Amino acid sequence: MPTAITITAVEHSGFSSDAPTRSEITNAMRNVVGRTYGSLTRTGNWVGPAPRITRWETLAGAKTYATWVFLVPSDSVSADFQQRLRDDVQAELDAHASHHQILGPAWIVTAAPYNEAVNGAPWWWEATGPISASREARWVDAWPPLDAQIIPGSTRPVEDNHVGPNSLHPAPEESNPLLWVTILAGIGVAGLALVEFGPAISAWARSKSYAAPKQLNPRRR
């Protein structure tokens, strides 16, 4: 029975325009297949035509996620095999799918045993159509609109599941967080108005009651 390893890579860019392209990521990850180490050659291959690539951007920066399942024709693999595969993917992405490394490597790569409950069914990774790991995502070559995360009242874009189908552990649809900032700010302004003008309003109310004309007692005429 073959053994599957899930490779997940995350790239941080200051701006979405600096992010690597889908073809750069795919070609870089394909370079690790069949690599030779002395007299040994790596066995196995990636499942499906391309990795699952998803994008996400906030005011803090842009992130590109790449997840792919590597299948080894063996009942088990050593920890050294998994670590070397991770290291090779890291090196290839840094060399061929990174547009800036001013503060060090832009990619963070992890390796873990494939888990169908988390990563989705094998057929989903093998598929080539629109219902597949490499194509079924909201943000593949496009980026979520930043203005929807800034303008109060806007519908916030929904983040993809970066390591499996969106139907598994879907991200909750959240309202724009700045909407609550606006609401709280409005409450604060109203509270400040009460603090500033409350005494004057109260004094004005008392003066109005004091200004009411006195009724003469008819018995004292």
Please check whether residues 124 and 200 belong to one and the same domain. no
Please check whether residues 107 and 182 belong to one and the same domain. no
pLDDT for 129-141, tens place per residue?
A: 999 999 999 999 9
Q: How many CA atoms lie within 13 A of 73 on its CB side?
A: 5
Quote the domain boundaries for residue 201: 178-220
Please check whether residues 108 and 196 belong to one and the same domain. no
Average pLDDT over residues 174-191: 47
Report the 10 Å Cβ neighbour count for 147: 7
Q: How far apart are CA 103 and CA 43, in angstroms?
A: 34
| pLDDT > 90 fraction of the chain, expressed in percent and rounded | 57
Please check whether residues 60 and 127 belong to one and the same domain. yes
pLDDT for 31-75, tens place per residue?
A: 999 999 888 899 999 999 999 999 999 888 899 999 999 999 998
Higher pLDDT, 164 or 202: 164
Please check whether residues 139 and 184 belong to one and the same domain. no
In one-letter notation, the amino acid at residue 49 is P
Predicted confidence band of residue 189 (pLDDT cuts 50, 70, 90): very low
* Rg of the chain on CA atoms, in Å: 30
Residue 169 belongs to a domain:
no
Q: How many CA atoms lie within 13 A of 132 on its CB side?
A: 15
